[in-house]
Chain A
Amino acid sequence: MYCINDKQIDYILNDIRARGVEMEDLQYNLLDHICCLIEQNLEENGDFEGFYKKTIPKFYKHELWEIEEETITLLTFKNYYTMKKIMLVSGTISAAFLTIGIFFKFMHWPGASMGIVLGITIASFLFLPLLFTLKMREKQQSKDKLILGIGMLSAIAMSLGIMFKIMHWPGANMMGLGSILAMVFLFLPIYFFSGIRNPETKVNTIVSSLVIILGSGLFFTLINTRPSATIERTNVLANQHTQNSYEYILKQNALSYEIVSKDSTLKQEELNKLRSTCTNLCNSIEDLKLKLVSASEGIDIKKIDFNTMYGGGDYGVPSTMLFDDNGNAKGDLKQLRKNLSDFNAFVSQAYGQKTENLINLGQQLNARDEMVSWEVSNFYLTPISIVLRNLTQIQLDVLNVEANCYAVSR
């Protein structure tokens, strides 16, 4: 029996490490094993190094670290069941959240968004990645793994895009479009043509491809939806109606002014101030309208035709042009409020107009039935077509107050 000394033990251990075995546990197991082999099989004065060099290749096919690789494979296989369990549970939870969220959304109940966001987040960051990892292990060829990878990434991007779309978060359309492009033009062709060649997977491939096309088509419709043609047209008509009233009363007020200004008993100075203030106010609002449309539609102010612009649904431009990052009015809108409140002060002082006859600049209800400031209610996150109508309505209000002042003067 051979007796191994400490130096030789160090030699073996270093060699095991040098051959790429990194798990300490395994290093010591192998070390003890080799020592036993040498002690049992080498005669007392045998050649240690020669025997070791002959023995160690019997442990592996190509390299010693294969043992470690096999160990890791077996150890992760243990996690396989845990992962599968988590995948199923997370899938169920996310489906439940999503269903509840969508149902709440339909019923306009509070908490709908939370359900949808939770559902899609769990699906995108837990369920789909786990599904991907588990499926990856089943695929042998690197081509199959590539197809799976592309498919999974576009699926995750698509589900996040849908969430962004539902939540009206910025970047939704870009994400959606990107994921659809990846899904339909990258994943689908590779998946379809590799699956259809195999008789076993032929039918499955065709059905899955159709479902993918259908789903992508539905999502594409969702991200491209503009307000329906009827709603757009109705908006145009309603806006024209307000515009007509405005123009009608504009003429009436011009006539009234002529009549009352002939009456020398009235204070001419005040009448002139009323007339010029109203005209300036209406003109400045008209300028603001043109500015907004020009920015929103990206066209020159001179080329604007209100008849075709009134239906626009964009609400980003009015919000960014009229409000700062904190949602407070800025620039033109701040000036407009000041002008209107100066106008209110002037007519109540000079013509004794009571509060109910003045322009209401106080808090108002918004679309969600919350009391918000006059600015937010009329302009914040409001589609451009509605912003324009609200501005025309303010012009109309100004002219109504003017008409009232002429009436009390007579």
Chain B
Amino acid sequence: MYSSELIKGTLKTIILKLLVENKRMYGYEITAKVKELTADKIQLTEGALYPTLHALEADGLLETETEYIGKRVRKYYSLSQQGKKTATEKVNEFAAFMDTMKFLLGLAPEAN
């Protein structure tokens, strides 16, 4: 499991990218999916996930729909137009960042 510090900086990117692939998801689904995809290596904490989801919604990157399951209310998140654009930007930015980090830490020569 990676440290929460590492995850914190990439949480927005992870959420946006997941929503590109899966159209609409709810909170638990996101944590479960990340856990599954990374074979438990990345476990999103609730304390980090929900604040970020609310912030992304307030930024206009996410749209929400609510569904009632008995007495429960489930909130589904999906990307807005702006969110789709930002998702691509964030992923590209992070890819470039990883290249730089690899070079910086002497793990691989820089691509360019």
Contact = CB atoms under 8 A, between A and B. Distances in A.
Interface of A: 6, 9-10, 25-26, 28-33, 35-37, 40, 58-61, 66-67, 70-71, 73-75, 77-78
Interface string B55-72: 100110000001001111
Contact of A32 (B27, B54, B55, B58): B27
B47 A59 contact: yes
Contacts of A60: 47
B88 interface: no
Contacts of B73: 28, 31-32
Contacts of A33: 27-28, 31, 46, 50
Interface of B, secondary structure class, is helix
A67 B75 contact: no
17 contacts: A25-B54, A26-B50, A28-B72, A30-B46, A30-B50, A32-B26, A33-B31, A36-B32, A58-B46, A66-B47, A67-B47, A70-B47, A70-B51, A71-B54, A73-B51, A74-B51, A75-B54
A6 B53 CA distance: 27
B54 A74 contact: yes
Nearest to B46: A59
Contacts of A35: 72
Range, interface on chain B: 20 to 34
A6 B27 contact: no
B74 interface: yes
Contacts of A25: 54, 75
B52 interface: yes
B70 to A, nearest CB: 7
Contacts of B66: 28
B45 interface: yes
Q: Which of A6, A37, A60, A74 has the most CB of B within 10 A?
A: A74
A6 B68 CA distance: 13
B28 A71 contact: no
Interface of A, secondary structure class, is helix
Nearest to B53: A29
A26 B26 CA distance: 13
Contacts of A40: 32
A60 B26 CA distance: 20
A29 B55 contact: no
Interface of B: 26-29, 31-32, 45-48, 50-55, 58-59, 66, 69-75
Nearest to B60: A78
Contacts, number: 73
Contacts of A77: 55
Contact of A9 (B26, B47, B72, B74): B72
Given A29-B50, A67-B46, A75-B58, 6 more contacts: A28-B66, A31-B73, A33-B31, A61-B47, A66-B47, A67-B50
B59 A67 contact: no
A9 B55 contact: no
B27 A78 contact: no
B72 A29 contact: no
A292 B67 CA distance: 82
Nearest to B43: A58
A187 B70 CA distance: 60
Nearest to B74: A32
Contacts of B48: 70
Contacts of B26: 32
Q: Which of A29, A36, A40, A78 has the most CB of B within 10 A?
A: A29
Nearest to A35: B72
A75 B71 CA distance: 28
A75 B72 contact: no
B52 to A, nearest CB: 7
Q: Which of A25, A32, A71 has the most CB of B within 10 A?
A: A32
A25 B52 CA distance: 13
Contacts of A78: 55, 58-59
A295 B78 CA distance: 78
Given A26-B54, A78-B55, A36 B28 contact: yes
B28 A37 contact: yes
Q: Which of B27, B32, B46 has the most CB of A within 10 A?
A: B46
Nearest to B52: A74
A208 B80 CA distance: 47
Nearest to A61: B47
A33 B73 CA distance: 10
A32 B46 contact: no
B48 to A, nearest CB: 8
Nearest to A75: B58
Contacts of B51: 67, 70-71, 73-74
A6 B55 contact: no
Contact of B71 (A9, A36, A61, A67): A9
